[in-house]
């Protein structure tokens, strides 16, 4: 525990700095997202589509699993005892849980929030913070709608600075729920159609009485008996009083599988993840020989934009110098994530040892073989 960990403040101790809390609204799309009224899909609909759910889990879980390191800006030296808030913002839960949902907020909505729980009394920097669901947050703007003048959480105003105020993480677009909302809803409808045909794997049918009109209770019993029988056997028997007529199309005629495959590929494009990661393309596969290149591709085109948003906000200087000093910055440590195979690492170590860049003990430390 660092010495400054002992200095914990309470809400009344921090003076308000309104200029530090004002933030511009980057685009009108993001502006509408702040009010929560322009989404063309919901999170529940998105997560009901297997492609989106898998893409979300791959992207957000990957980001959450990569540790953050604090380095000095001048020479890049690693800070040995970084603030605990960097890798575990909320002391009540693991840091990976916070960053997984923060990354999801950036992916789905285009921005995310942490609410400050504690700060240091000597530096006024953040000691702990919790993730806040963006749907709980509202904003008030100036008359032109170009500048945010205040935030609310659950309808209650929050301070501009200090304990209880919000740390805003900005994404690079308006978020998946708005940008690809119609495609997400199409995928959700196709999943519902698949469930419907799984329950009743035949075209829509009408049972027609050839005799007198039946009362409502007899009709209900007849339909229930028909439904139960079709779940137990595929062959049906009808007497002369009732005939069956098929309406609509079966899944093959509707090309339900083809439609789901098409939407899955489109959603993989929308999330920025290679299609083979979510099995959107039939016949696609990832072999050992291209696995390392695929991981680099995933990092460059899917993970990097959100990682950069998190890194830059944690490293922000100027009036929002609230996580680390201006002489330091925060970066994701990609050494383990991009780590090659044992053979590739051995070849690199052999070269570095031969030129004197790494000693045998340093190589053992890199490989975690020293106990």
CA distance 265 to 271: 10
What pLDDT is recorded for position 25? 56
What pLDDT is recorded for position 229? 75
Flag the least confident range among 117-131, 163-177, 296-310, 316-330. Answer: 316-330
Kindly report the average pLDDT of the chain as a whole number: 77
* Bigger pLDDT: 294 vs 25: 294
What pLDDT is recorded for position 256? 64
Select, from the ranges 162-171, 191-200, 270-279, 333-342, the one with the highest average predicted confidence (pLDDT).
162-171
What pLDDT is recorded for position 24? 57
- For the stretch 224-264, pLDDT in tens is 887 777 677 667 777 767 777 665 555 555 556 777 788 88
What pLDDT is recorded for position 255? 58
CA distance 227 to 113: 49
**Residue 320: half-sphere exposure toward Cβ, Cα within 13 Å:** 16
- For the stretch 128-159, pLDDT in tens is 999 999 999 998 888 887 888 889 999 899 99
* Bigger pLDDT: 329 vs 208: 329
Structure token digits, residue 221: 């019993």
CA-nearest of 329, 327, 312, 334 to 71 is 329
- Asked whether the CA dihedral 251, 255, 260, 261 is positive or negative, the reply is positive
Question: pTM value?
Answer: 0.71
């Amino acid at each position: 525990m660092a010495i400054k960990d002992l200095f914990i403040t309470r809400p009344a101790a921090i003076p308000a700095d309104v200029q530090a809390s004002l933030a511009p609204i980057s685009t009108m799309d993001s502006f509408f997202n702040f009010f929560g009224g322009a989404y063309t899909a919901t999170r529940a609909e998105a997560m009901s589509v297997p492609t989106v759910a898998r893409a979300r889990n791959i992207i957000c879980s990957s980001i959450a699993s990569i540790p953050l390191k604090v380095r000095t800006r001048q020479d890049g030296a690693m800070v040995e005892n970084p603030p605990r808030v960097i890798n575990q913002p909320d002391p009540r839960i693991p840091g990976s849980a916070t960053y997984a949902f923060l990354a999801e907020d950036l992916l789905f909505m285009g921005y995310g929030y942490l609410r400050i729980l504690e700060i240091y009394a000597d530096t006024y920097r953040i000691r702990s913070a919790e993730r806040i669901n963006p749907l709980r947050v509202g904003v008030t703007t100036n008359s032109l709608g170009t500048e945010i003048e205040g935030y609310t959480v659950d309808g209650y105003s929050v301070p501009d600075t200090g304990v209880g105020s919000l740390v805003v993480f900005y994404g690079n677009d308006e978020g998946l729920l708005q940008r690809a909302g119609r495609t997400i809803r199409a995928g959700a409808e196709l999943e519902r159609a698949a469930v419907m045909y799984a329950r009743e794997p035949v075209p829509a049918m009408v049972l027609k009485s050839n005799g007198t009109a039946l009362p409502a209770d007899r009709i209900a019993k007849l339909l229930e008996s028909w439904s139960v029988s079709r779940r137990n056997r595929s062959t049906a028997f009808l007497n002369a009083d009732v005939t069956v007529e098929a309406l609509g199309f079966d899944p093959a005629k509707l090309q339900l599988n083809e439609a789901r495959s098409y939407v899955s590929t489109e959603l993989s494009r929308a999330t920025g993840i290679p299609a083979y990661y979510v099995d959107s393309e039939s016949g696609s596969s990832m072999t050992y020989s291209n696995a390392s290149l695929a991981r680099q591709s995933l990092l460059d085109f899917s993970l990097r934009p959100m990682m950069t948003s998190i890194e830059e906000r944690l490293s922000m200087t100027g009036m929002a110098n609230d996580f680390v000093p201006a002489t330091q910055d925060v970066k994701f440590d990609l050494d383990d994530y991009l780590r090659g195979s044992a053979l590739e690492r051995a070849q690199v170590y052999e070269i570095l040892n031969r030129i004197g860049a790494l000693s045998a003990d340093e190589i053992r430390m890199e490989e975690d073989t020293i106990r």
